[in-house]
Amino acid sequence: MFIFLLILFALAIIIVAIIKFEIHPFLALFSGAIIYGLMAGMPAELIISSITDGFGGVLGRIGLLILFGVVIGTFLEKSGGAFVIAQKVLSWVGQKSVMLGMMITGYISSIPVFGDSAFIMLNPINKSLSFKGKLPYAATTVALTLGITATHSLVPPTPGPIAAAGILEADLGQIILFGAIISALALIPCYYFCKYWVSKIHLEPVFAEIDKEGKVRKKPSLGKSFMPIIIPLLLIILSSIAAYPTQPFGDNLFTSLISFIGNPIIALLLGAFMAFSLPEKLDKKVLSSSGWFGEALLIGAPVILITGAGGVFGKMLQNSGIADQISSIMTAGNLSLFLPFAMAFALKSAQGSSTVALVTTASIMVPLMPALGLDTEIMRVLTVLATGAGAIAVSHANDSFFWAMTQLSGMNIKQGYQSHSLGTVILSFTAMAIIFILATVLA
């Protein structure tokens, strides 16, 4: 029981440091890991090796994946490519189905682009379409935020799911495939929630500024815009299929080629190079340290460092012998999936960041996987997705996305809780229910 109390104490230190004292999550996680190691009575040499092995091991697997994913998202956002995708999706759905269109647009846009950025970029379209179609603005807004939230926590190459997949050594191709399906299905009740509940909230769109998107620079074509997202995802999925024991593609040169270019690092590197074709003019202002590429590095660096600190925390837990304590308590794999879900749910609700919740929970789960019956290939995938489902909710006043949504839409805090916050709870629990059903069928 003592070791569990130590973990709870260390987590409490981390959460209080982030929320109350506004300490950067990297420093909070890193310091919390060392404090835990000292309180657990670990030898100094073991604490040092946990730091170096945990930080270096995790970043060796994940650092480049996060970086390339952020580069793709930054170039899509800056070039207007994400905007082109959004407009096309809405044209496919039609103005009569703006609510569904905004949900689908948010769902697609948030795969490569950070949630806050995706909403800031898409809200002007949402505002205009809801006004022209005389539709409830609150409902279309929350449909957009929930669509963004679904893939932000469940579908790589968003940094959180990539980090969790790398930490738990889960197959990225299967996470992309199952994550896309689960997040799409989980949005079905959210759509009706927006249609019948959020639509009752009266909210008038305020046009404080005229949207000038598209008048500054020429946007890339739809094909160009989609390529940096679709090609890497397809390559990763094909590589996962090629690695099945049944060898569906056979043992030949094609399989070797797919296995190489479908490796997540190579696939996302190719996606990043494809993203370089998005700007109207590729020059040093784009690729320099002060250009778009430099901005992507600035965005990605904190996420990479937080992931590394999470790796230190996980290694410290692993070397403290916590797995032996857990093994005598929980052994049922399906039910054990609720542990990472509940942990991520609590961490997200407490400190606001889905990425921090994903990284911290995945790091804690590393030494527990065998004891919980989660160390098979499919259960590792489902553990990452259960963690992502928990990291969806609750989005409220400590979440920057919550404030971006309320401030830009004109919602007050009460309306934000009644709509977006409640919607994330529905999305989170629905996704977890689907994951549990999948675990029952596939495990």
> pLDDT tens digits, residue range 61-91?
778 888 888 888 889 888 888 888 877 877 8
Q: CA 233 → CA 9, 28, 69, 115, distances in Å?
A: 39, 33, 11, 19
Answer whether 303's CB lies under 8 Å from 70's CB: yes
Range in 136-145, 320-329, 346-355 the model is least confident about: 320-329
Write the pLDDT tens digit of every residue in 381-394: 999 999 999 999 98
Write the pLDDT tens digit of every residue in 190-227: 999 999 999 998 887 765 444 444 444 678 898 998 89
pTM of the model: 0.80
Does the pLDDT at position 366 exceed 80?
Answer: yes
Confidence at residue 323, expressed as pLDDT on a 0 to 100 scale = 57
Taking residue 276's Cβ as centre, other Cβ atoms within 10 Å add up to: 17
Share of the chain above pLDDT 90, in %: 33
Confidence at residue 209, expressed as pLDDT on a 0 to 100 scale = 42
Confidence at residue 216, expressed as pLDDT on a 0 to 100 scale = 46
Taking residue 230's Cβ as centre, other Cβ atoms within 10 Å add up to: 14
